[in-house]
Structure 1
Amino acid sequence: MAAGQSAAEADEAQGSDATTAEESADLTNKSVIKATVLLSELGRHRQGITVTELAQAVGMTRPTAFRLLLSLEQTGFVDRVDNRYLLGWQVARLGRLADPYTGAVARIQPILDEYAAKLKETMSFAMVRSETSYDVIAEASGSRYLNATHLYVGGNYPAHASATGKLLLSELSDDAIAATLPEKLESYTARTITNRKALLQEIRQVREQGYAVIDEELEEGLFAVAYPVRNGSAGLIGVLAAQGPVQRFKSDKLPGVVDQLHKAADEVAKALS
């Protein structure tokens, strides 16, 4: 109780705070939330999806999904072609108007800063745009004098010579990778994997262990490890990476870095959900 405040006034203030919390909860529209869940899932099906398949994918009853889809179709946020639903023209129009990353960076930057301080290494986050493309949208520097820093935001890396790229490739089938990459890959250092068959072997290992690394494959002296950030449907939405001098990572430090990236990835996923 504040100085000069009576017990009755304190009780009234506490009651007011409780009422405000309850009102905030009441203001949440569950139908709107469910509609956004449907839109997010539709974004993963470029060729469309049936209402039954969509309802099963998001854990919703078919009647509820159908009712929401009908409303979204009437407002242009959903299109229907031969009983298959896909994102509508309104989504594309709003997408062109919106800055895709400002809000996301504001949410995840504190997390990157926290884990960069813990690891004392540079952290970066890449937002996935498609199966094979992404944008590095945020970075946080470690506290060491020798750091890999301020090199990545707004950039992109070659898929076969970066930890982030390898992680994206691991989401594809071997056949899809073979269709995407040539047999002979560009060399950046003496350690770059330039043979597609050898790269496929490493990608299989990435799938098994759940993270990807590069060891002086993009730049001499640079080591990086990347970890996936997934949404509630286990879809890949982004990639967290830690990078620094190879002599610091190629030691017993790597398992600890992977563990911290796992925790950071969970936090980022929650922040973006």
Structure 2
Amino acid sequence: MSEEKNGPLERYLTVLEIVAASHDGLSLTDIATLTGFPKPTVHRLTKSLVEAEALTAEDKRQKTFRIGRRMWRILQLGLDDNTLASYAQLACDELSARIQETSYIVRLDRNQIRSVARSAPDQGHRLHVLPGSELPFHAAASAKAILAFQDERTVRRLMKEPFEQLTARTKTSLPDIEAEWEQVRERGYAVCDREIDDTILAYACPVHLEKAGVLYAVGVTGPSSRMAKHPEAYWIEELQKAAQHFAEMLTTLDQ
């Protein structure tokens, strides 16, 4: 084996591959046996991988290592765009058929939150949240639903001041935006009430993936005058159903 193949990165990847291949998790001894690495080396490698959230370690009689949240997020972000769009479109079509308003699903990418699917019934508001469009981090309901559940490093990378004043109701102060994220975490959904367009109301719910956290959100949008015909609880109940269904679809891809 070449020196490059024997380098530190290769050893980390070897550990990750072996753990990923084991659905029941592996102990330190198991990993040492399967890799042929000395136990002190395995201890150092697994410690670093756990700190980076690439592995998780369950403390039982002896630690059991499994693939961690960060690796699952990488796998989700690397999903084939066509596969993701097909699943998202199905979820949107089912939701819009029930609520008769425009629904959409967005995803957190490297430096943006973008729409991956949208469905609009005949009477829906068709010109909002087109597939592929970017959503403003500080104002869009779906962006709030995702960013409220991100770590500080991700938030610092994405949230760059100054924030554009899109309407008179747009929040442009980071403390105010962060306070709204706290509400999102408490309530389980986000609202964009005429913050992007003076006539448009939107709700969004995060899609919680057990292994990867929140990378997606499901939203509904329309003219505020028409959306007001139903109570807020109606929209949230439907969004939560759709978010759960979409999460179940994505979970099948992990298996």
TM above 0.5, one fold?
A: yes
Which runs of 5 or more structure 2 residues have no equivalent in the other structure?
A: 1-11, 37-41, 56-70
Aligned residues: 204
1:213 correspondence with 2:191: yes
Cα distance in structure 2, aligned partners of 1:192 and 1:68: 57
Q: Which amino acid in structure 2 is aligned with residue 116 of structure 1?
A: S
Residues 28 and 43, structure 2, Cα contact 8 Å, conserved in 1: no
User: Given the two structures, how large is their TM-score scaled by the length of structure 2?
Assistant: 0.66
Asked if the contact 2:166/2:195 (under 8 Å) is kept, the reply is: yes
Evaluate the alpha carbon distance shift between residue 70 and residue 100 of structure 1 in structure 2; reply closer, same or farther with a 3 A threshold: farther
Residue 238 (structure 2) aligns with: 260
Q: Deviations over 1:49-93 (max 9, x none)?
A: x97xx89xx87343698389859xxxxxxxx99514469xxx9xx
Q: 1:225 aligns with which of 196, 203, 217?
A: 203
List runs of 5+ in structure 1 lacking aligned partners: 1-46, 72-79
Normalized per residue, the structure richer in helix is: 1
Q: Is the 8 A contact 2:209 2:247 kept in 1?
A: yes
Whichever residue aligns with residue 103 of structure 1, its letter is T
Name 1:129's counterpart in structure 2.
109
Indicate if the aligned counterparts of 1:182 and 1:196 stay in contact, CA closer than 8 A.
Answer: no
For residue 140 of structure 2, what is the aligned residue in structure 1? Answer: 162
Dislocated runs of 4+, deviation >4 Å: 67-71, 173-180
Relative to the length of structure 1, the TM-score reads: 0.62
1:60 aligned onto 2:25: yes
Bigger drift between 168-177 and 199-208 goes to 168-177
- Residue 187 of structure 1: CA displacement? 0.4
CA deviations 1:18-72 (Å, max 9, x no partner) are xxxxxxxxxxxxxxxxxxxxxxxxxxxxx99x97xx89xx87343698389859x
Write the mapping of 1:62-141 to structure 2, written as runs, cut at 5 A.
62=27, 66=31, 70=35, 83=45, 84-85=48-49, 100-130=80-110, 133-141=112-120
| Cα-Cα RMSD | 3.8
Aligned to 1:271: 249
Contact 2:88–2:116 (CA under 8 A) maintained in structure 1: no
Distance in 2 (alpha carbons) for counterparts of 1:101 and 1:171? 23
Inter-CA distance 128–64: structure 2 relative to 1 (3 Å threshold) = farther
